[in-house]
Structure 1
């Protein structure tokens, strides 16, 4: 029997309206069950039901267990829920930023929890991390379903206020304005710029945001200043389209705070899983701006997918001939691999974001897969 995934109170209400027997094998994830306690106490069809996190009173918990349910509680030492059914919003990860500073936000505390030696070999902590990331993956797949998604990859070291930062923002803006969902690794630098541009579009608001952000150009100097400046820019804008900009960061890189400009944020504990999912959802192509080791890893990770494909995949566009032929000469390796597989039809090396944009939007006009 396929389990019912119940992730919202309206979905729970619909299940409560069903006859006895329909609760069997349901998965109740991240719900405040105290709001439906009296209704649940009147039922006993909980064989195979699994309760994942959320809020539950002792009387209801005992009732559910007595009638066959299995209940998993969040680890109270973990600042974020292990069983969340939805992606993050910047206000969740950065709660308390302006009043108490970055180190006291759920984002910073979750990173420190993940690095705590006491939880490194704790089986329950491992389960908590795995369940969290599984929930994020499920929510992410629902969030991108049916949309053209273009990945913008690039280095975290790109400073605000530079021409390159503005170029990345303009690329994100133009892609999103054309109806594409822009996804990045969710961190600072080129990733922040592309998420910012996608969120605000090619507008006067974007130009003002670029000016304002330049007052705190580098997160390495002060995460508090860097993030607080972004918060003030972000809270001025409530986009009507909630699927323009997506960040997929990881707590593995604790020195890189997530940027605040994704319409949604899919943050992972496992960087390996995060990288794989991030590249897999880019069904309309990937553009790679200047970066270092992490960006090179992403290039070859997507190259492996395309190399072993049975037919040409979406475009992989590298921007900057000097960057990718001399500074970090990955292009000759890609050409050699592309000569032997469908990968070759996906590869593009260009000098400008205008060229990259044209290639990616041409792909985005093809039918969704």
Structure 2
């Protein structure tokens, strides 16, 4: 059913929800491009195809984590060395969270994340790692029992917030700060409710807290009550007690 000879091409073409007109009309049809076994393969790198990848990551993440019991996410530096006091505190924290009835979710990497996963596994709890594709990827640590690797940071972040009832933040770097401030923003804007955030390590986090109080709040960039969105402690039992109390678990 070709176009009659002498007839001009269409001025408008509808491709599902997309309308193309004039010079933006593409030759061929969607079915034709799907069934054509030859041609350019660059389409696998286009934004519409990435949307499908993003969708698949959400589906896989939701499917893997939907049946988790109440869980707490533990963040911290991948550079925390095994055997150090910080590492051992992470191990104790992971075990104590399991003893309180929580699953433990981390970023799945080495260092502080590995410590919390190790503590959870040794306490016979559920140890979860949500990894991310990085140029220097080291893979999930051996103490992870349920692991999901993500391509996109924002999908991974959604999983942390959706399936954790609170955060405990061990000393960490830029990635840890990213997760911390996203959580604080979500609580401040009431996108999430009943979401305890505990900073573990008063010496490490003290400078940040002072800056928030003496600069950010003092200059009116945040309110005094925003300092109540988080707690700071050096005690594992207190950290677990805080997340237990605020989650009503």
Give the TM-score normalised by the residue count of structure 1.
0.49
Distance of 2:79 and 2:133 partners within structure 1:
17
Residue 134 of structure 1: aligned partner: 58
Instruction: Report the alpha carbon displacement of residue 323 of structure 1 after superposing the two structures with TM.
Output: 1.0
Residue 257 of structure 1: aligned partner: 139
Give yes or no for contact 1:187–1:249 (8 Å, CA) kept in 2.
Answer: yes
Give yes or no for contact 1:156–1:256 (8 Å, CA) kept in 2.
Answer: no
Give yes or no for contact 2:184–2:229 (8 Å, CA) kept in 1.
Answer: no
Give yes or no for contact 1:176–1:245 (8 Å, CA) kept in 2.
Answer: no
Distance of 1:132 and 1:296 partners within structure 2:
27
Question: Superposed, which structure 2 residues align to 1:80-229 within 5 Å?
Answer: 121-122=45-46, 126=50, 129-144=53-68, 147-201=69-123
Instruction: Report the alpha carbon displacement of residue 318 of structure 1 after superposing the two structures with TM.
Output: 0.5
Query: RMSD of aligned C-alpha atoms?
Result: 2.8
The Cα offsets for residues 166-222 of structure 1, whole Å up to 9 and x where unpaired, read as: 110111011112211111111111001101110111xxxxxxxxxxxxxxxxxxxxx
**Counterpart selection for 1:321 from 196, 202, 205:** 202
Residue 246 of structure 2: aligned partner: 363
| Greater relative CO, 1 or 2 (CA 8 Å, sep 6+) | 2
Distance of 1:338 and 1:277 partners within structure 2:
28
Residue 16 of structure 2: aligned partner: none
Question: Superposed, which structure 2 residues align to 1:8-23 within 5 Å?
Answer: none
Instruction: Report the alpha carbon displacement of residue 312 of structure 1 after superposing the two structures with TM.
Output: 5.6
Unaligned runs of 5+ in 1: 1-71, 73-117, 202-238
Distance of 1:156 and 1:311 partners within structure 2:
27
Distance of 2:204 and 2:135 partners within structure 1:
24
Give the TM-score normalised by the residue count of structure 2.
0.71
Distance of 2:84 and 2:230 partners within structure 1:
28
Residue 269 of structure 1: aligned partner: 151
Quickly say closer, same or farther: Cα 1:183–1:158, change in 2 above 3 A.
Answer: same
Give yes or no for contact 2:91–2:117 (8 Å, CA) kept in 1.
Answer: yes
Give yes or no for contact 1:176–1:198 (8 Å, CA) kept in 2.
Answer: yes
**Counterpart selection for 2:224 from 325, 332, 339:** 339
Unaligned runs of 5+ in 2: 1-33, 35-41
1:352 aligns with 2:235: yes
**Counterpart selection for 2:162 from 280, 292, 298:** 280
Instruction: Report the alpha carbon displacement of residue 309 of structure 1 after superposing the two structures with TM.
Output: 1.1
Instruction: Report the alpha carbon displacement of residue 124 of structure 1 after superposing the two structures with TM.
Output: 8.1
Distance of 1:119 and 1:169 partners within structure 2:
46
Instruction: Report the alpha carbon displacement of residue 350 of structure 1 after superposing the two structures with TM.
Output: 1.2
**Counterpart selection for 2:186 from 299, 305, 313:** 305
Question: Larger Rg: 1 or 2?
Answer: 2
SS at match of 1:252: coil
> How many residue pairs end up in the alignment?
203
Give yes or no for contact 1:252–1:270 (8 Å, CA) kept in 2.
Answer: no
